[in-house]
Structure 1
């Protein structure tokens, strides 16, 4: 069985606070922030014209499946982390900053995870013209107490930072385990 990290990491831009979520913005503010993000020097993130529709649909499905599993979200959209760390995710931004929390600090009833990230896992990419190879763990929302059994059954993705991110948003995406925290009680 792979070694399971005992912490999660949230990456954010150096000039922005951690735990900001695009889904919380109204349309005028969202348009401004997306324009700013598109102009960030050295950013490999892609926020195309369909990104927010995909993200919001993903978050709705993710929230519903978490509730079905017994989760008790306190937010409509989560704060996003990766299990352990991800050179791949860190490399999306020049000079990314990070916040690390130990797994034991995360509230069980407000924490879920997907393998890999939720956009890939929740199965809506085909609706947006992006084909992904289906995997057994896609579509599942897992509870934090299932981490060991999921790692034993499916392994843990661990992608190094690539030399070139060109086209990454159009391919299979098994780079990290995404952890979703559905409360603001983690803000320090």
Structure 2
């Protein structure tokens, strides 16, 4: 079952999966957000968060979320190579594929990722961070245990989550995997 599990990163075709505003100095992050906000359309898409009226709140919450994820991952025994993860979902998400304007997808086999390089949350980490009933991040081992205890058909389980516009978020704490994937597709 776990041999076929993969994680997917979605990003707009004008961006790169390993890019992250939070890895930049603050002034550069705000400058880039201003540049990216020009791609905001009439519908809510991934670039909507970069608009002047939304970006400051988004950026501050993203930083707080990543601090929470990082400290939680360290407490779980993780060994992050970066203070800012690259975000994936377990399996696929139709919602995110549309939200990122049917852009780039990077898929990595979960078995190829060292447990010390990845953590998970039930749902979008930013959305759940301030929730009273949030569950803390968990490890790859805990994910496999949860899957084993919950379902005998992981494919149906993931399709059901996708159908409900829900997902299990994966935080990848080592950029090497994405860089290797980028090099293999060139």
Q: Report the number of matched residues.
A: 163
Q: Output the TM-score relative to the length of structure 1.
A: 0.76
Q: Deviations over 1:84-131 (max 9, x none)?
A: 11001111122311010000111211110000121123x33xxxxxxx
Instruction: Give the secondary-structure state (helix, strand or coil) at the position aligned to 1:66.
Output: helix
Question: 1:128: which partner in 2?
Answer: none
Q: Output the TM-score relative to the length of structure 2.
A: 0.77
1:69 aligns with 2:76: yes
Q: Deviations over 1:105-164 (max 9, x none)?
A: 11211110000121123x33xxxxxxx5x44xx231110111133344597672349xxx
Deviation, 1:41, is 5.1
Query: Alignment RMSD, CA only?
Result: 2.4
Question: 2:15: which partner in 1?
Answer: 16
Where in structure 1 are there 5+ consecutive unaligned residues? 125-131, 162-173
Q: Is the 8 A contact 2:17 2:86 kept in 1?
A: no
Where in structure 2 are there 5+ consecutive unaligned residues? 152-156, 181-186
Q: Is the 8 A contact 2:8 2:105 kept in 1?
A: yes
Q: Is the 8 A contact 1:116 1:177 kept in 2?
A: yes
Q: Is the 8 A contact 1:79 1:180 kept in 2?
A: yes
Question: 1:184: which partner in 2?
Answer: 175
Q: Identify if the C-alpha distance between structure 1 residues 26 and 7 changes in structure 2 by more than 3 Å, giving closer, same or farther.
A: same
Question: 1:44: which partner in 2?
Answer: 45
Q: Would you identify which runs of 4 or more consecutive aligned residues in structure 1 move more than 4 Å?
A: 153-157
Q: Is the 8 A contact 2:92 2:162 kept in 1?
A: no
